[in-house]
C-alpha cells in the first residue's frame, strides 16, 4: 500500500489513507469486521499467525487496522492504538510510561478527568504529579526533577484555551530525558505537526472530530517509534480493544474531517468575532482569532486551515451565573451537553477556577464554552442574539427588583 503520510496535502491524505490504492477493486471501504474468534485451517497456519499479533479479535481486524493506518498517515505517527474512549487513551499512555517513584509534570489546563486519574490512581501507585502553569514555556526546565519521566501538554486547554509553547517545553523535556505526551484533541490529527514540534505521543479523543457525528466513543494513541513497545505492552496487559462497528464509524468520519473542519473554522471565527463585540463579554478564548490570547503561538505552530469549532467566552464580573443560564436556556440551536466535535452546536456554562492550581483567580467570572457546529452561521448568530436578549432581560429584571 502507498504511504500517504508525506506526499499529499491533508485533505487528500484523509481521503486515501488506509485504503488499498488504485489496484484495489470492489467496495471503496474496507469490510466491516465483527469478530472475536479467528479460525485457522490447520496447526501450521496457527503457528505462523502467532508471529503477526493477529490471532484473536482483541488483536484487531481489517476494519480497526485500516483506521489505525489512516490515523498514522494523517498525523505522521509510527504507530496507533485504539481505545474505547479518549480518557482510556490518556490513562493507558500514562500507565505505560510511569512507574512508582516517578514524577509527572501535568499542565494545569488539563481535561478534568485526566487530573482525577493523576490525583487518585497514579498517586496510589506512587507517582507524584505536579501541575504547572500552561504558559510556562522554557521555564518548565526549572520544574523538572531527576525522576520526571513525562511532561503532559494539552494545547489549547479545552476550557481555558491557553496555547502552550510546545517546542520550548519539548526541548526542556528531551534535554532531561523526559518524554512529551500531548492531549491533541483540539488540534485534531491534522491541525498541527505534533511530532515535528517535539511531541512523542499524541492522544486524541477520537470521539470528537474523528468520529465527528456524536455517535461513538473512541480514543487514539499515536506514538513515535521509540515508545510504541511499552505502550503496546500496557495496552495488551489492560486487555483493551475496540469493536469493528465503532472503527467503521470513525473511519467514515475521518474521510470528511478536513472538509468539516474548514466549515467549523469559518463559522467559529464569525461567532468569535460576534461574541467579542458584545459588551457583556470580557474575553473570547479562540486562539485562531487575531488578538486572542495565544494567537501568536497558534499562528506559529498550527495549520490555519484546520482550526476547530471549540471556544470559550469569559463574561465581565458584573454578569451573574443566572443571567448566563438565561442565555443558554434561550437558544434553540445550541444543545446543552458535554463533548464536542460533532456536526451540531453546543453551549455549556463552565467554571475552570474549580480545577486550577495556578492563576485560579483569572477564571472566577462566569464563562461559557461553545462548540460551533455545521449549521448555517447566520442562523447560529441569530440564535445567540436571542440568548443575549434573554441575558439582558434577566439583568433588567434583577436591577428592577
Least distance in angstroms from the C-beta of 356 to ligand PLP: 16
Least distance in angstroms from the C-beta of 158 to ligand PLP: 4
Contact positions toward ligand PLP, by CB under 6 A? 85-87, 111, 158, 183, 185, 205, 207, 217, 219, 339
Pairing of the two strands 179-183 and 148-153: parallel
Least distance in angstroms from the C-beta of 81 to ligand PLP: 14
CA 370 to chain centre: 15
Residue 107 or 148 having the CB closest to ligand PLP = 107
Which residue number has the CB closest to ligand PLP? 86
Q: Which three cell numbers stand for residue 189?
A: 490529527
Residue 179 or 205 having the CB closest to ligand PLP = 205
Residue 135 or 144 having the CB closest to ligand PLP = 135
Least distance in angstroms from the C-beta of 177 to ligand PLP: 26
Residue 85 or 364 having the CB closest to ligand PLP = 85
Residues serving a catalytic function are 58, 111, 183, 208
Total residue count of the chain as it appears in this document: 401
Least distance in angstroms from the C-beta of 385 to ligand PLP: 27
The phi and psi torsions of 35 (rounded to 5 degrees) equal: -155, 140
Pairing of the two strands 346-350 and 148-153: unpaired
Residue 205 or 285 having the CB closest to ligand PLP = 205
Residues 82 and 68 sit within 8 Å (Cβ to Cβ): yes
Amino acid at each position: 500500500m502507498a504511504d500517504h503520510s508525506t506526499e499529499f496535502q491533508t485533505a487528500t491524505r484523509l481521503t486515501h489513507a488506509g485504503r488499498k490504492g488504485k489496484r484495489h477493486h470492489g467496495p471503496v471501504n474496507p469490510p466491516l469486521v465483527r469478530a472475536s474468534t479467528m479460525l485457522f485451517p490447520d496447526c501450521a497456519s496457527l503457528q505462523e499467525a502467532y508471529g503477526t499479533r493477529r490471532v484473536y479479535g482483541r488483536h484487531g481486524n481489517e476494519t480497526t487496522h485500516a483506521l489505525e493506518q489512516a490515523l498514522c498517515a494523517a498525523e505522521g505517527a509510527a504507530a496507533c492504538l485504539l481505545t474505547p474512549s479518549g480518557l482510556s487513551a490518556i490513562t493507558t499512555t500514562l500507565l505505560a510510561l510511569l512507574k512508582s517513584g516517578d514524577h509527572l509534570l501535568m499542565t494545569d489546563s488539563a481535561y478534568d478527568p485526566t487530573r482525577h486519574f493523576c490525583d487518585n490512581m497514579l498517586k496510589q501507585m506512587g507517582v507524584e504529579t505536579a501541575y504547572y502553569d500552561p504558559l510556562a514555556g522554557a521555564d518548565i526546565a526549572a520544574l523538572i526533577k531527576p525522576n520526571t519521566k513525562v511532561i503532559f501538554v494539552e494545547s489549547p486547554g479545552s476550557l481555558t484555551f491557553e496555547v502552550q509553547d510546545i517546542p520550548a517545553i519539548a526541548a526542556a523535556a528531551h534535554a532531561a530525558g523526559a518524554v512529551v505526551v500531548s492531549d491533541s484533541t483540539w488540534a485534531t490529527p491534522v491541525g498541527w505537526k505534533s511530532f515535528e514540534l517535539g511531541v512523542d505521543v499524541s492522544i486524541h479523543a477520537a470521539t470528537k472530530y474523528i468520529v465527528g457525528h456524536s455517535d461513538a466513543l473512541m480514543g487514539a494513541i499515536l506514538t513515535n517509534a521509540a515508545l510504541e513497545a511499552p505502550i503496546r505492552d500496557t495496552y495488551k496487559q489492560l486487555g483493551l480493544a475496540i469493536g469493528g462497528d465503532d472503527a467503521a464509524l470513525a473511519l467514515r468520519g475521518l474521510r470528511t474531517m478536513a472538509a468539516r473542519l474548514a466549515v467549523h473554522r469559518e463559522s467559529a471565527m464569525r461567532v468569535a468575532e460576534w461574541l467579542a463585540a458584545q459588551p457583556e463579554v470580557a474575553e473570547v478564548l479562540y486562539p485562531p482569532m487575531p488578538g486572542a490570547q495565544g494567537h501568536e503561538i497558534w499562528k506559529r505552530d498550527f495549520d490555519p486551515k484546520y482550526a476547530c469549532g471549540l471556544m470559550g467566552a469569559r463574561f465581565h464580573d458584573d454578569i451573574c451565573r443566572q443571567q448566563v443560564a438565561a442565555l443558554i436556556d434561550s437558544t434553540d440551536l445550541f444543545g446543552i451537553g458535554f463533548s464536542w466535535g460533532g456536526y451540531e452546536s453546543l453551549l455549556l456554562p463552565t467554571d475552570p477556577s474549580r480545577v486550577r492550581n495556578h492563576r485560579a483567580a483569572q477564571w472566577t467570572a462566569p464563562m461559557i464554552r461553545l462548540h460551533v457546529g455545521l449549521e448555517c452561521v447566520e442562523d447560529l448568530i441569530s440564535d445567540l442574539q436571542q440568548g443575549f436578549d434573554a441575558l439582558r432581560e434577566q439583568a433588567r429584571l434583577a436591577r428592577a427588583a
